[in-house]
Structure 1
Amino acid sequence: METRQRSVVKAVLWNAIGLCVMAVVGFVTTGSAMIGGTMAVINTGIGLSLYVVYERVWDRIGWGRRNV
């Protein structure tokens, strides 16, 4: 089982990558760094929250795990 701290660190790092990608996509799509950045921040906030919940739910599901 993962600790909550590990789940949060993984989520933050993954979302930092997503933030950068979304900012570039938003800028290329809209031509505006402000709009692209705003889109990226909103997307990252939502994604981070959902990812932490998703990881914690899956951490409680034993299906597909093997005891080593």
Structure 2
Amino acid sequence: METPRRTLIKAVLWNAIGLLSMALVGLALTGSAAMGGTMALANTVVGFVCYLFYERLWARIGWGRRQ
């Protein structure tokens, strides 16, 4: 089972990657760094919260694990 700290570190790193990629996509689509950054930040906050809950839920499920 993963510790909550490991889940948090994984979520932070994953969302940093997502923030950068979404900012670049937003910039490419809108031509505005401010709009791209706003879109990326909103996406990152929502994704971060969802990811934490998702990972903690799966940490409680024993299906598919080997002991």
Please classify the TM superposition score into its range, dividing by the shorter chain length. Answer: over 0.9
The equivalent residue for 2:28 is 28
Query: Aligned-pair distance for 1:45?
Result: 0.3
**Structure 1 CA distance for aligned equivalents of residues 6 and 61 of structure 2:** 17
The equivalent residue for 1:38 is 38
Structure 2: give runs of 5+ residues left out of the alignment: none
Q: TM-score, normalised by structure 2?
A: 0.98
% identical aligned pairs: 63
The equivalent residue for 1:64 is 64
Give the aligned length.
67
**RMSD value, Cα:** 0.4
Structure 1: give runs of 5+ residues left out of the alignment: none
Q: TM-score, normalised by structure 1?
A: 0.97
